[in-house]
């Protein structure tokens, strides 16, 4: 059986700005270990692609770091911070782990689902919100909490959630 190998050239897919940002991480490692920068590289590529990673983008990151595509897929599919499908403009990752569960995250999840009209793991029809369940995000002392973008929102109540959402455009 013939095997077709598809190759993606990083410079054809990743903008120069994206490649430069990735290189700022890659230079922290010896040249023969550029692949050590794969985690931030994928985050950068994702950030420049409306919050998600296409297969072509992952292949381009692999090419740019000199590693196999499969190794990049392994990383991207292992960590929950990477999205392999398009997401909403605002991605809300609500922690449902033990401290948040004991502090009433269930009520917050229900409130978010009702207000946004989506269930966990779904994106609203207008493409504005993605609601996602997260494991402990390390803010247990301020549970319940969610992350939206790079920011944490803590000590949540349904009223506080409404205030946060009301401020979004
Ligand atoms: S359990 Fe929710 S932040 Fe730790």
| pLDDT (mean) for 61-86 | 96
Question: In terms of domains, do 108 and 55 share one?
Answer: no
Token output for 80: 């929950």
Tens of pLDDT, residues 21-54: 999 999 999 999 999 999 999 999 999 999 999 9
Instruction: Say if residue 55's pLDDT is above 70.
Output: yes
Single residue among 27, 50, 78 that ends a domain in this structure? 78
| pLDDT (mean) for 78-92 | 96
166, with CB counted inside 10 A (0-12, 13-18, 19+), is exposed
CATH assignment of the domain containing 57: 1.10.10.1590
Counted domains in the chain: 2
Question: In terms of domains, do 102 and 74 share one?
Answer: no
Residue to mutate, 139, 141, 153, 155, ligand 1, most ligand atoms under 8 Å from C-beta = 139
Question: In terms of domains, do 73 and 22 share one?
Answer: yes
Question: In terms of domains, do 161 and 94 share one?
Answer: yes
77 neighbors 84 (Cβ within 8 angstroms): yes
Q: For residue 7, what pLDDT is reported?
A: 79
Omega cis (within 30) before 58: no
Compute the distance between CA of residue 34 and CA of residue 83 in angstroms, rounded to an integer.
23
134 neighbors 148 (Cβ within 8 angstroms): no
In a domain, 23, yes or no: yes
Instruction: Say if residue 6's pLDDT is above 70.
Output: no
| pLDDT (mean) for 69-91 | 96
Instruction: Say if residue 95's pLDDT is above 70.
Output: yes
Residue to mutate, 92, 100, 147, ligand 1, most ligand atoms under 8 Å from C-beta = 100
Q: For residue 5, what pLDDT is reported?
A: 58
Question: In terms of domains, do 69 and 96 share one?
Answer: no
Question: In terms of domains, do 104 and 155 share one?
Answer: yes
CATH assignment of the domain containing 119: 3.40.30.10
In a domain, 83, yes or no: no
| pLDDT (mean) for 86-92 | 97
In a domain, 38, yes or no: yes
Give 138 Cα–ligand 1 centroid separation in angstroms.
5
User: Which domain, by its residues, includes 149?
Assistant: 90-166
């Amino acid at each position: 059986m013939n095997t077709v190998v598809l190759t993606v050239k990083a410079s054809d897919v990743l903008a120069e700005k994206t490649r430069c940002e990735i290189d700022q991480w890659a230079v922290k490692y010896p040249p023969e270990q550029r692949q050590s920068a794969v985690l931030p590289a994928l985050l950068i590529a994702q950030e420049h692609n409306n919050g998600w990673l296409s297969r072509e983008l992952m292949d381009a990151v692999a090419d740019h770091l000199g590693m196999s595509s499969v190794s990049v897929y392994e990383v991207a599919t292992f960590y929950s911070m990477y999205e392999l499908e398009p997401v909403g403009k605002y991605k809300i990752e609500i922690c449902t782990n033990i401290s948040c569960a004991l502090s009433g995250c269930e009520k917050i999840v229900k409130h978010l689902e009702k207000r946004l009209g989506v269930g966990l793991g779904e994106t609203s029809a207008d493409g504005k919100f993605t609601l996602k369940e997260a494991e402990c995000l390390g803010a247990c002392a301020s549970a319940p909490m969610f992350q939206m973008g790079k920011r944490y929102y803590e000590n949540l109540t349904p009223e506080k959630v409404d205030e946060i959402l009301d401020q979004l455009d």
